[in-house]
Structure 1
Amino acid sequence: MLMQFGFTQYESQVYHALITTDQPLDATAIVRRSGVPRSKVYEVLHRMGEKGVILESTMEKKRLYTALSLDSMIEKLETDFEKNVQKLKDTKIKETPMDDRVWTLKEDKSIQALVKRLVKRAERSVSISGWADDIVILLPLLEDKYKAGLNVTIHVIGELKTIIPTVSTLIPDIQHANLERSRILIVDESEMIFAGIENSEWQAIRTHSRPLVKFFTEFFYHDVALTEITRKYKDTIMQDKDIRDILLKLRY
């Protein structure tokens, strides 16, 4: 219950045991309900008391415990989170100068956060490719960049409503069996991110390497060209089995 908020497994088990009963418990009852070893329970209870997530009382020489209410716990977690975020914001940072090395990054939310940060930093141009439900998250920022005079080009899979005129839209159908979820971002023609799914997990590369930036820029416009050719000549293409089979094997 609480492990995702930085609590240990034993602390989470003890809190769950206390919050799911309507009466205070002593250590013996907590051991029985939580599964925490007796040798560890007092240490765990002490830490939780220091963290302010359980209440303690002594009655007839017996130490009793109850949980901080769920509403109060949620408020505490939110307050602690906001305080920690502010500390993080106040940290004096020194960014590592970027070079031609290729950097890898995992985890979808981290990749999305990096993509958003690089779009914010863009000064001249943004080229971005991805699925509509990904790009729509960035759309207000992309439209602000367009309004500021930047050259913004979007290749999107799925419907996307935007004021940006340079949008190439592919509406997938059942014949696009090889379409894979991915993202390409090229900023100021000098930095790029490519992200895709491998073994069900998002992974990305980021680099300033000029050959790679050039390669992925061409790759981006390869996708745009394929989309426009397919859209304009779809009926003709789909009637020619050889051409259709080749095109549908290509990545958009």
Structure 2
Amino acid sequence: MLQQFGFTQYESQVYQALITSGQVLDATGIVKMSGVPRSKVYEVLQRLLEKGMILESTTEKKRLYSALPLEAAIEKLKAHFESNVQEMKKVHRKSAPVDDRVWTLKDNHSIQSVMKELLDGARKSIIISGWEDDLQFYLPLLEEKYKHGLKIHIHVIGVIESIIPSIITLIPDSRHEHLERSRILIVDEQEILFAGIEESKWQSIRTQSRPMVKFFTEFFYHDVALTQITQKYRDTIMEDEEIQKILFNLRY
């Protein structure tokens, strides 16, 4: 119950026993209901008391315990979390040299969080490519950066409405069966994040390596050029079966 908030298994078991019993319990009752060993229960109760998650009373030389009401516990955990977040924001990292290592990151939510962090830290320029529903997630931040004078270049698969003028739109052909979801983010011409789906799961790489930054910048403008050429000369291109076959085999 509480383990996901940083409590131990025994602490979680004791709190759950108290909150679900609906009554005050002594140590013996807590041992029976929680499954926590008697040799550990007093230690666990003391930690929960110090954390403000339970209440203690002494009646006729007997110690009794009650759980902090659930709504109060939720408010306490929320306040504690917010306090920790604010403390983290106060930490200032020292300027670090260019890190040319390639870092891998999995899980879509983690990748989205890192992308927002990179976008938020951008100071000069942003190059970003992705699908319409993906880019909508970042659009408010992108527009805010544009209002602050950053150069923003977007390549989107699908259609988005934005105040940002430099948006290149690709409407995929229904016959383009191999086109896969991906994201490219290049910040200040110094750092890139590329994400794609492998075996139905998002995976990404992140690096400040100059050759990699240059490669993915060229990759982005390759997509932009291909999109514009295809749109402008679509009728002519689609008459050529060989070119058509190549285009429809592109993955990104």
TM-score, normalized by length of structure 1? 0.83
Paired AA for residue 213 in structure 1: V
In 1, the alpha carbon distance for the partners of 2:29 and 2:176 equals 59
Classify 1:13/1:157 alpha carbon distance in 2 versus 1 (closer, same or farther; 3 Å). Answer: farther
Equivalent in the alignment of 1:76: 76
Shift of residue 52, structure 1, vs aligned partner: 0.6
Matches within 5 A, 1:231-250: 243-250=243-250
Does 2:164 align with 1:164?
yes
Equivalent in the alignment of 1:213: 213
Matches within 5 A, 1:88-237: 88-171=88-171, 175-198=175-198, 201-228=201-228
What is the CA deviation profile of residues 142-161 of structure 1, one whole-angstrom value per residue up to 9, with x for unaligned ones? 12332344331112233322
Shift of residue 101, structure 1, vs aligned partner: 3.0
Classify 1:173/1:52 alpha carbon distance in 2 versus 1 (closer, same or farther; 3 Å). Answer: farther
Residues 223 and 251 of structure 1 are in contact (CA less than 8 Å); yes or no, is this contact kept in structure 2? no
Moved more, 17-26 or 42-51: 17-26
Classify 1:236/1:49 alpha carbon distance in 2 versus 1 (closer, same or farther; 3 Å). Answer: farther
What is the CA deviation profile of residues 79-112 of structure 1, one whole-angstrom value per residue up to 9, with x for unaligned ones? 2122222222223431322143333344444433
What is the CA deviation profile of residues 40-98 of structure 1, one whole-angstrom value per residue up to 9, with x for unaligned ones? 22222221111110112233444322211111111111221222222222234313221
Classify 1:164/1:43 alpha carbon distance in 2 versus 1 (closer, same or farther; 3 Å). Answer: same
Shift of residue 163, structure 1, vs aligned partner: 1.1
Tell me, what secondary structure is at the counterpart of 2:21?
A: coil
What is the CA deviation profile of residues 133-175 of structure 1, one whole-angstrom value per residue up to 9, with x for unaligned ones? 3322322221233234433111223332211122223445764
Classify 1:63/1:119 alpha carbon distance in 2 versus 1 (closer, same or farther; 3 Å). Answer: same
Equivalent in the alignment of 2:50: 50
Equivalent in the alignment of 2:13: 13
Tell me, what secondary structure is at the counterpart of 1:20?
A: helix
In 2, the alpha carbon distance for the partners of 1:57 and 1:41 equals 16
- Gaps of at least 5 residues in structure 2 are none
Classify 1:185/1:41 alpha carbon distance in 2 versus 1 (closer, same or farther; 3 Å). Answer: same
Classify 1:149/1:84 alpha carbon distance in 2 versus 1 (closer, same or farther; 3 Å). Answer: closer
Tell me, what secondary structure is at the counterpart of 1:23?
A: coil
Shift of residue 235, structure 1, vs aligned partner: 7.1
In 2, the alpha carbon distance for the partners of 1:224 and 1:33 equals 64
In 1, the alpha carbon distance for the partners of 2:125 and 2:17 equals 55
Count of residue pairs brought into register by the alignment: 252
Paired AA for residue 196 in structure 2: G
TM-score, normalized by length of structure 2? 0.83
- Gaps of at least 5 residues in structure 1 are none
Moved more, 219-228 or 136-145: 219-228
Give percent identity, aligned residues only. 67
Shift of residue 22, structure 1, vs aligned partner: 1.8
In 2, the alpha carbon distance for the partners of 1:24 and 1:241 equals 79
